[in-house]
């Protein structure tokens, strides 16, 4: 008989986790809260709040790292997340009834915006939940995640775990917790990855200095959600096939967003300019169970304003190929391991300026593979699911897409005063308009 291993209490941070800690620091230093995100699930019915509270309490007991904090090893300086030995669960759930609101949609948006701008208490759990009930039997469940502990795919996995617990299936923390780290070997490999990243940055600097939308000071997080339905999505795919090549939907979407960014700067009178979108790439493998921390990286996509639409699309496809051939996203994650001895305030300044002295023009992400694909959640039919990330002060703007079935959700996120209302409408409508042939 083999003895069961005790659950780990020390979780070493990988290179991207360390970048995320720095981005969290940059957010916390500016008005508006932490580096965090919401996953909003729209449900046809309303789950029982008391039962949901019990499940959330149970998950806090099973995963004490939700109440953890950042530490650094005294000798090798490797940063890690330390979980307490045991926790007393907090009440994580807030319930708000929208059924008596004159405009329930506007009220829901207000509640979600307030939640997006609420920082986590330093010594409290790094997770919260908001249940918005009504009108009728409908509801919305917003899970509020700290990016230091969860990435977008991890957040969806957590939602699945919550649903399994709701249905009586106990979680198995041993399978879901990180046991890798502290990555204090393979120095030559890490430096080789650093060289790959450096070459990409030098190539980018040759284009000039990218246009930046805001002043980088940060502010309250704002968002707008737009949708592309089944029919429009089919049209979008067909158009991407024609203009970018088969299976080249992501470069097509990026090119469309870049086009809208150039148009925004043109209207501001800032031409010619070069725009760069650090695109998030999910590095999670389908057969990996690990749920916590960050398993993604960045692929920088860019274009100059003078490029015609066809050139812009072809360039994104080319950048995709080049990025994958040189394993740039992987290299960026590995090379970031070398930055871990830096003090966090210095690292925060470093992560705000990787692309020719800026953090880029706007973040861009497309979550193609849904980790939480179930039609039902907490006993209710899921009618929609979208992500609402808070963007760091620099660049202060981002477009985040997630595909669910054959529908596409688009969340434009920005810090207040970064863009005007007209610019918001321009950026949010670019992809839906492309789907309609615009």
Partner 1 sequence: MSKEAEIESFLRREIAAVLRLDEAAVQTDSSLDELGLHSMAFVELLILIEKQYGVQLMRAGLTRADLGSIRQLAHRIDRAL
Residues that bind partner 1 (CB under 8 A): 241, 245-251, 281, 285-288, 317, 320-321, 324-325, 368-369
The nearer residue to partner 1, 299 or 419, going by C-beta atoms, is: 299
The answer to whether 252 and 313 have CB atoms below 8 angstroms apart is yes
Q: Cβ closer to partner 1: 283 or 429? A: 283
Nearer to partner 1, 16 or 52 (CB): 16
How far is it, in rounded angstroms, from Cα 178 to Cα 14?
Answer: 11
CB of 96 to partner 1, least distance (A): 36
Distance CA 58, CA 52 (A): 10
Rounded least distance, CB 402 to partner 1, Å:
12
Rounded least distance, CB 244 to partner 1, Å: 9
Residue 222 or 317 with smaller CB distance to partner 1: 317
- When the beta carbons of 115 and 284 are compared against partner 1, the nearer one is 284
DSSP code at position 416: T
Q: Is the dihedral of CA 51, 116, 17, 82 positive or negative?
A: negative
List % helix, strand, coil for the chain (3-state, nearest 5). 40, 25, 35
Q: Identify the three-state secondary structure at position 328.
A: helix
Instruction: Please tell me whether residue 413 adopts helix, strand or coil conformation.
Output: strand
**Minimum CB–partner distance for residue 241 and partner 1 (Å):** 5
Burial annotation 278-306 (CB, 10 A radius, 16+ → b, else e)? bbbbbbbeeeeebbbbbbbbbbbbbbbbe
Shortest separation between residue 151's beta carbon and partner 1, angstroms: 16
What is the nearest approach in angstroms of partner 1 to the Cβ of residue 286? 4
When the beta carbons of 153 and 211 are compared against partner 1, the nearer one is: 153
Q: Is residue 102 classed exposed, middle or buried when 0-12, 13-18 and 19+ CB atoms within 10 A define those classes?
A: exposed
User: In terms of C-beta density within 10 A (0-12 exposed, 13-18 middle, 19 or more buried), how is residue 242 classed?
Assistant: exposed
C-beta of 21 vs 250, nearer to partner 1: 250
Residues 6+ apart with CB under 8 A from 238: none
CA-closest candidate to residue 395, choices 309, 262, 277, 225? 277
Nearer to partner 1, 73 or 239 (CB): 239
User: How far, in Å, CA of 180 to CA of 294, rounded?
Assistant: 13
CB of 262 to partner 1, least distance (A): 22
3 state SS of 407: strand
Which residue number, 38 or 317, has a Cβ lying nearer to partner 1? Answer: 317
Q: Is 63 or 320 the residue whose CB approaches partner 1 more closely?
A: 320
**Pick from 239, 212, 248: nearest CA to 432:** 239
Taking the C-alpha atoms of residue 428 and residue 411, their distance in angstroms, rounded to an integer, is 8
Which of 225, 209, 279 has the alpha carbon at shortest distance from 407? 225
d(Cα 26, Cα 421) in Å, to the nearest integer? Answer: 25
Beta carbon nearer to partner 1, 9 or 239: 239
Taking the complex as a whole, the smallest distance from the CB of residue 246 to partner 1 amounts, in Å, to: 4
Beta carbon of residue 316, minimum distance to partner 1 (angstroms, whole number): 10
The nearer residue to partner 1, 169 or 373, going by C-beta atoms, is 373
**Alpha-carbon distances of 226 from 23, 264, 402, 409, rounded to whole Å:** 26, 19, 11, 6
Q: Residue 339: which of 82, 149, 148, 77 has the closest Cα?
A: 77
């Amino acid at each position: 008989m083999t003895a069961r291993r005790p659950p780990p209490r020390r979780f070493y941070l990988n290179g991207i986790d360390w970048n995320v800690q720095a981005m969290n620091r940059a957010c916390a230093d500016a008005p508006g809260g932490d580096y965090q995100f919401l996953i909003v699930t729209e449900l046809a019915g309303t789950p029982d709040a008391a039962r949901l509270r019990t499940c959330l309490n149970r998950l806090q007991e099973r995963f004490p790292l939700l109440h953890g904090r950042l530490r650094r090893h005294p000798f090798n300086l490797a940063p890690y997340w330390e979980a307490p030995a045991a926790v007393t669960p907090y009440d994580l759930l807030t319930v708000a009834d929208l059924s008596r609101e004159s405009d329930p949609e506007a009220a829901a948006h207000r509640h979600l915006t307030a939640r997006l701008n609420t920082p986590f208490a330093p010594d409290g759990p790094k997770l919260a939940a908001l249940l918005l009930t009504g009108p009728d039997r409908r509801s919305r469940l917003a899970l509020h995640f700290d990016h230091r502990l969860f990435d977008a795919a991890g957040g969806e996995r957590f939602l699945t775990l919550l649903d399994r617990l709701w249905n009586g299936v106990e979680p198995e923390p041993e399978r879901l917790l990180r046991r890798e780290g502290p990555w204090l070997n393979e120095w030559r490999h890490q430096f080789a990855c650093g060289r790959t990243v450096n070459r990409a940055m030098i190539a980018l600097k040759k284009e000039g200095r990218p246009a930046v939308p805001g002043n980088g000071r940060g502010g309250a997080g704002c968002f707008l959600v737009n949708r592309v339905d089944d029919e429009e999505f089919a049209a979008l795919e067909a158009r991407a096939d024609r203009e970018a090549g088969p299976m080249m939907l992501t470069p097509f979407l990026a090119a469309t967003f870049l086009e809208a960014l150039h148009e925004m700067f043109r209207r501001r009178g800032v031409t010619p300019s070069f725009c760069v979108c650090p695109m998030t790439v999910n590095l999670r493998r389908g057969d990996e169970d690990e749920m916590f921390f960050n398993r993604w990286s960045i692929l920088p996509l860019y274009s100059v304003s003078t490029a015609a639409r066809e050139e812009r699309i072809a360039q994104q496809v080319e950048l995709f190929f080049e990025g994958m051939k040189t394993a740039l996203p992987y290299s960026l994650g590995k090379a970031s391991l070398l930055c871990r001895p830096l003090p966090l305030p210095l690292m925060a300044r470093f992560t705000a300026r990787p692309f020719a002295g800026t953090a880029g023009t706007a973040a861009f992400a497309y979550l193609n593979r849904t980790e939480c694909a179930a039609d039902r959640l907490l006993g209710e039919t899921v009618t929609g699911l979208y992500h609402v990330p808070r963007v760091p002060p620099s660049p202060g703007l981002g477009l985040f897409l997630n595909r669910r079935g054959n529908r596409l959700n688009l969340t434009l996120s920005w810090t207040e005063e970064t863009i005007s209302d007209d610019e918001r409408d321009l950026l949010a409508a670019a992809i839906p308009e492309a789907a309609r042939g615009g």
